[in-house]
Structure 1
Amino acid sequence: MTRSATLVREDMQKILREQLDGMPIWTDAKDMERYVSDWHKDVVSGAVAVLRPGSTEEVAAAVKLCRDLDLDIIPQGGNTGLVLGAVPDDPKRQVVISLERMNKIRHIDPENFSAIVDAGCVLSEMKDQLAEREMFFPLALGAQGSCQIGGNVSTNAGGVNVLRYGMTRESVLGLEVVLPDGTIWNGLNSLRKDNRGIDLKQMFIGAEGTLGIVTGVALKLSPLPTQVETALVALGSLNDVIQLYRRARVDCCDLMSAFELLPPSAFSLAQAAIPDLPIPVSDEFPAYALIELSGSGLVDVADLLARFLERAMEDELVLDGTVAASRAQAASIWAIREGMNEGQALHGPHMRTDFSVPLAQMAAFITEAEAAITSALPDCVCVSYGHVGDGNVHLNVLPPKGLSRDECDMRIDQSKKIANEVLYNFKGSISAEHGIGRLKQADFEAHLPDANLELISRIKHALDPELRMNPGCQLSRQATP
């Protein structure tokens, strides 16, 4: 069927039900609501249908039928993304293919420290099942109770453990993918070394579903940490946070799994979302660091952290702080980090960013960007936090409460332009870990070197010549040859 041919919505829904008999298919607006809106409910769209296959073969059948019906496909995992990468934008000609029913761990290999899993496995549930076998998958996100591993792979998700374990890409040994023509590519290879030519799986990691639908993942695992130590410390400046990280990187070596920057406003934002959340340190200091060390075997992680912090306090680099005495206290400290995101959402519409800058310039970037935004928009509040060690800064801007949506949007747009201009002066990236999606597509394309755009476009056109797979995500529909 060509692009000029048309079927009415009801006819397409009928054919989908008949040809995909036995597959759960949602067509009612109420049933589809959570699949066609973003995580923060800022955008609500629609779709011809939501298809919920239960196997790779069913995904392939759905893709082939959508092609026959001239329907575009929006692949979707847990729909927890922040850049509109899994939200339809053309309801009359798009279907959502949700992987949520594909949620089984297919195989665990304890001796190889690997596992093969369905793409629809919820991250936290999968990690819990692996922990029962004393194995550890390091990806840790605020949305891990809802996000799915296929989406994590497709966005090359980051999280708090990147400085030790790397991005999701570093933990992927192999993939199974349904291509835009319905072909199943089985690359579920669990080898640690395989140098047989081009590594095809890398094309799909971070592609955000634009080249195919990830249906299975072979994961590299690690021994489950038996010792986890968490500390929250106060420092005198952003520069001191960077200095402390450098010392921790040397003194604690590869046992450091997380090092997070928090601003003083983190505490009030977290308590807005979790009113009874205890705050173990004073909020009077300019900057804070949340540090986690983890390990197993014969290493004494608690002693290492204690000696490191003792030296930092003797040098007056750390001014105050607390070390969690139990897993419950550690969870309470981490709740501050995650709760501040919920607090910002409760505040209302605001600018969210996912910047990446060279680590040595992180403090200077935050200082310069916040100063520029505050000068132009004195009634807005800047909230900067992120993953020290991989240069990932989330510089968010909260407009004052009580404004109309148009007034909020005006401030959000202006603050984004100001922040992006500072970012480009620092030669940074607009996406450290969230991806491009549709939200950042225009900025991404505008600053993409011609050679990069040409290569990406050629790959897209070669695998998806009809531009049917997640169109408008990452690249505009006009950007491909």
Structure 2
Amino acid sequence: MSLLPPSPETLARFAAIVDGANALRGEAEQAPFLTEWRDLYQGRTPMVLLPGSTDEVAAILALANETRTAIVPQSGNTGLVGGQIPNEGGTEIVLSLKRMNRIRDIDPIDNSMIAEAGCILSDVQAAAHAVDRMFPLSLAAEGSCRIGGNISSNAGGINVLAYGNTRQLVLGLEVVLADGRIWNGLRRLKKDNTGYDLKQLFIGAEGTLGVVTAAVLKLLPKPTDHATAIIAVVSPRHAVELLNLMQQSTAGRLTAFELIPRIGLEFTMRHADVVDPFATTYPWYVLAELSGGEPAGTLDAMMMKSLEAGMTAGLVQDAVPASSEAQRNLFWRMREALSEVQKHEGGSIKHDVSVPVARIPAFLDEAMAAVERLVPGSRPVPFGHLGDGNIHFNVSQPVGADKAAYLARWSEMNDIVHGIVLAHGGSISAEHGIGRLKRSKMADIKSPVELAMMQGLKRLFDPNGILNPGKLLP
């Protein structure tokens, strides 16, 4: 049975579930929920619902299932593939979890926390910090993204090298199914070998199988020491070799290893008040960080020893270790500003891809040459999580080019870059998900067996297709 546009009566029933004031109908109050951060998608909706409890979410989905009304779950609206934006038809209801923002429980002895889906990631980090623990998920949008969206997109970020992505940091989930039933899987257990690990079905599912309302998150001891350095290298090949050297010489304390091209540093210097840490220019840089439980200052010596070994091996051209917390923050500002500063350089065609770490140099050589052949004068800005193989292969428009004409070639450039990624055994979505942006690619990157399994799960969990239609699945 097909989905139906909600009638005025149906909308009134939805509004009654959240006491009216939390059912947004006005254009101005709906606006923050309808535009994707990069302005790729502008949706329309008859109503934005802001439930305050799991029971209200359950009532909303039960009614949606009864009336065949499409529901688009949304957390912080920081997604980059359009998975959280309704379509342009104006019939899909946005379900925002932002009011469900309580830390229900935190147990430092058990190293776990129960957080509702609407908790802002930085608030989760702060709650862990308050009990001398760490929640290691960290990404540029952590001041506005929410944990439900992080879970539904299986967010990655800068610490995957050491701690894994979101999938590795979730112990249990509370999920409302499409028919309104509530699955309470808020288990804190590290070991539970009693059948299917159901929580994993909802992590990375982009709200297509159920609505995550709360999660048991894994906490870790808070590091007592950090050592951070910005390192100049000749090439990505040297960076990969340096990664292996540092992993071996620091005994697992390497927690971040971020690749930055010279053009990226130049963009941040122009638009983000970043100062070049070196007197000489270099083609590539690495931001490396060690973390551990040693007394403060201990890791500085380990960092220096690794850098000296890198210089002896011909891998390090120069390096500036952070001499204070303020300098460490400046180094991280250099990395974290890379996404935002590209807006000031005109149109940017994005690729969130991953390849095996050993193949990153070859991938970059081939992809950079390919996009420059396609659009002469285009400016590749590949950066990101070299330690886990995830490169944000963004390409800024040629200087002075027409932005609209350049962005019109988005799909054409994607096809070329993604083809190179797949040839190297990689993924066309490393951490941002599929959403609307890459949905059409699924038939090309997934085998018929994989697609059949995914579609079978969708039919099982959401037989009427009310949850986030038009996203993820082809």
**Structure 1 length as normaliser, TM-score?**
0.95
Residue type matched to 2:103 in 1?
I
Residue type matched to 2:189 in 1?
L
Deviations 1:361-419 (A, max 9, x none): 10010011101111221121111112112111111111135544541223333321211
Instruction: Name the CA shift for 1:219/1:283 in 2 (closer, same or farther; >3 Å).
Output: farther
CA contact (8 A) 2:377 2:399 kept: no
Counterpart-to-counterpart distance in 2, 1:455 and 1:4: 23
1:5 deviates by: 6.2
Counterpart-to-counterpart distance in 1, 2:4 and 2:217: 42
Residue of structure 1 equivalent to 2:86: 88
Residue type matched to 2:276 in 1?
I
* Residues 1:291 and 2:291 are matched in the alignment: no
Instruction: Name the CA shift for 1:293/1:249 in 2 (closer, same or farther; >3 Å).
Output: same
The SS at the match of 2:388 is coil
Counterpart-to-counterpart distance in 2, 1:5 and 1:475: 20
Counterpart-to-counterpart distance in 1, 2:141 and 2:3: 40
Task: Please show how residues 120-199 of structure 1 align to structure 2 within 5 Å.
Answer: 120-199=118-197
Deviations 1:205-262 (A, max 9, x none): 1101100000001011101111111100001111100100010111112211100111
Instruction: Name the CA shift for 1:244/1:438 in 2 (closer, same or farther; >3 Å).
Output: same
The SS at the match of 1:266 is helix
CA contact (8 A) 1:137 1:222 kept: yes
CA contact (8 A) 1:23 1:51 kept: no
CA contact (8 A) 2:17 2:56 kept: no
Residue of structure 2 equivalent to 1:473: 471
Counterpart-to-counterpart distance in 2, 1:409 and 1:27: 32
CA contact (8 A) 1:105 1:117 kept: yes
Counterpart-to-counterpart distance in 2, 1:289 and 1:350: 22
CA contact (8 A) 2:18 2:49 kept: no
Task: Please show how residues 21-60 of structure 1 align to structure 2 within 5 Å.
Answer: 21=19, 24-60=22-58
Residue of structure 2 equivalent to 1:358: 356
CA contact (8 A) 2:43 2:90 kept: no
Residue of structure 1 equivalent to 2:396: 398
* Residues 1:113 and 2:111 are matched in the alignment: yes
Larger deviation, residues 281-290 vs 247-256: 281-290
Residue of structure 2 equivalent to 1:452: 450
* Residues 1:421 and 2:416 are matched in the alignment: no
Size of the aligned set, in residue pairs, is 473
CA contact (8 A) 2:177 2:183 kept: yes
Counterpart-to-counterpart distance in 1, 2:315 and 2:145: 37
Residue type matched to 1:211 in 2?
L
CA contact (8 A) 2:5 2:92 kept: no
Aligned residues: percent identity?
A: 40
CA contact (8 A) 1:270 1:341 kept: no
Larger deviation, residues 154-163 vs 58-67: 58-67
Deviations 1:90-109 (A, max 9, x none): 54321111111111111111
* Residues 1:281 and 2:278 are matched in the alignment: yes
Residue of structure 1 equivalent to 2:440: 442
Larger deviation, residues 347-356 vs 185-194: 347-356
Counterpart-to-counterpart distance in 2, 1:7 and 1:452: 33
The SS at the match of 2:464 is coil
Residue of structure 1 equivalent to 2:337: 339
**Structure 2 length as normaliser, TM-score?**
0.96
Residue type matched to 1:269 in 2?
F
Counterpart-to-counterpart distance in 1, 2:58 and 2:218: 26
Counterpart-to-counterpart distance in 1, 2:435 and 2:6: 28
> Equivalent of 1:220, from 201, 212, 218?
218
CA contact (8 A) 2:228 2:290 kept: yes
Deviations 1:289-322 (A, max 9, x none): 1001011145921211111112212333211111
Residue type matched to 2:328 in 1?
A
Instruction: Name the CA shift for 1:111/1:266 in 2 (closer, same or farther; >3 Å).
Output: same
1:154 deviates by: 0.7
The SS at the match of 1:302 is helix
Residue type matched to 2:451 in 1?
L
CA contact (8 A) 1:29 1:46 kept: no
* Aligned-residue RMSD, C-alpha: 1.7
Counterpart-to-counterpart distance in 1, 2:295 and 2:160: 24
Counterpart-to-counterpart distance in 2, 1:164 and 1:23: 44
Residue type matched to 1:318 in 2?
V
Counterpart-to-counterpart distance in 2, 1:197 and 1:421: 38
1:281 deviates by: 2.0
> Equivalent of 1:348, from 339, 346, 349?
346
Counterpart-to-counterpart distance in 1, 2:419 and 2:385: 21
1:445 deviates by: 2.5
Counterpart-to-counterpart distance in 2, 1:298 and 1:241: 29
The SS at the match of 1:63 is helix
1:198 deviates by: 0.6
Residue type matched to 1:278 in 2?
V
Counterpart-to-counterpart distance in 1, 2:232 and 2:155: 28
Larger deviation, residues 108-117 vs 66-75: 66-75
1:44 deviates by: 1.2
